[in-house]
Amino acid sequence: MKKNSLLLEYYISFKKNKSAVFGFYVIFILVIFSIFTPFIAPFDPVIQDLSIRLTPPIFSEGGSWPHLLGTDDFGRDLFSRIVYGSRISIMIGTISVGISLFFGLILGSFAGFYGGSVDAVIMRFVDIILSIPAIMLAILIVAILGPSLYNAMIAIGVVGIPTYARVVRASVLQEKVKEYVVASMVSGSSSARLIFKVILPNCMAPIIVQSTMGFASAILEAAGLSFLSLGAQPPTPEWGAMLASSLRYITIAPWMIAFPGFAIFLTVLGFNLVGDGLMDVLDPKMKD
């Protein structure tokens, strides 16, 4: 009999879902863009050249090589800015989700495992964060720390903690009562080991799905904050900031909005599709 690893089975199931695979390729392209940025982007994203400002994309009248997607109001190559923006988007997703996941995991697993007053205290704290509208809380944090891309990432990360805490807690509660946990207890396992080595590995499915979706929403939220001038500051080529500064050119140079907007749309779609695909793949297997 073959030695089937769980991962191989998941991979095979995932491949069958065409939209999930499409999403995966989108993310793949995004990652390639962000790793090989200096090689893919033809121009520096920040250096201005006012002589070629507001050039249309290459397929429009007036467009010219090598400015594939045209230039913005400062003559900067739009394509290059979008490619550099992908790097920033990856960073946003990673750091924000990283913060939410790290704290959410700790809070959720302790709350779920210990129950009682520990659970009550932690979840009340989580509820307090939740009760403040996300965008307001983000604005508040950025206002305190100062408007910058990094602070925006921290804000988004903090705002996301309750969701992860809840997901982890629910999952831990469900697994905690299963017999294999009792078996480890009877073998003499310590509480910390029970939480991290025994229970949490079985809670990965909802956490992975949440993180994937979270990546997408982090990018969107960062775009929103940048749009409000609270996130990335000019001349950083963050997609949301690019949208914000292009608004007044909507009639003259619509490509300045269209392409960054499309980049956001495609990325968010890609992550959501992958997240959906993962949900389908991981859940039925969990029921085995």
Looking only at Cα atoms, what is the longest distance across the chain? 76
Q: For 147, which DSSP code?
A: S
The contacts found for 33-37 with CB under 8 angstroms, 24 or more apart, are 33/83, 33/86, 33/87, 34/86, 34/87, 34/89, 34/90, 37/83, 37/84, 37/86, 37/87
Whether the CB-CB separation of 220 and 268 falls below 8 Å is answered with yes
Q: Give dist(CA 217, CA 215) in Å, integer.
A: 6
Of residues 45 and 112, the one with the C-beta less far from other proteins:
112
Rounded least distance, CB 124 to other proteins, Å: 21
What are 266's two structure tokens?
A: 């495609």
Residues 142-201 that bind other proteins (CB under 8 A): 178-180, 182-189, 198, 201
Rounded least distance, CB 102 to other proteins, Å: 21
Rounded least distance, CB 209 to other proteins, Å: 17
Whether the CB-CB separation of 262 and 277 falls below 8 Å is answered with no
Of residues 3 and 124, the one with the C-beta less far from other proteins:
3
Cα 155 to chain centroid, rounded: 13
Of residues 198 and 222, the one with the C-beta less far from other proteins:
198
Of residues 132 and 204, the one with the C-beta less far from other proteins:
204
Q: Give dist(CA 275, CA 273) in Å, integer.
A: 5
Among the listed residues 19, 202, 229, 233, the single contact to other proteins using CB under 8 A: 202
Binding mask 4-43 for other proteins (x = CB under 8 A): x-x---------x---------------------------
Residues 97-126 that bind other proteins (CB under 8 A): none
Residues 249-288 that bind other proteins (CB under 8 A): 285-286, 288
Of residues 188 and 251, the one with the C-beta less far from other proteins:
188
Of residues 243 and 282, the one with the C-beta less far from other proteins:
282
Number of residues near other proteins (by CB under 8 A):
23
> SS3 for 78?
helix
**How many CB atoms lie under 10 A from the CB of residue 49?**
14
Rounded least distance, CB 104 to other proteins, Å: 20
Which residues of this protein are in contact with other proteins, per CB under 8 A?
Answer: 1, 3-4, 6, 16, 178-180, 182-189, 198, 201-202, 204, 285-286, 288
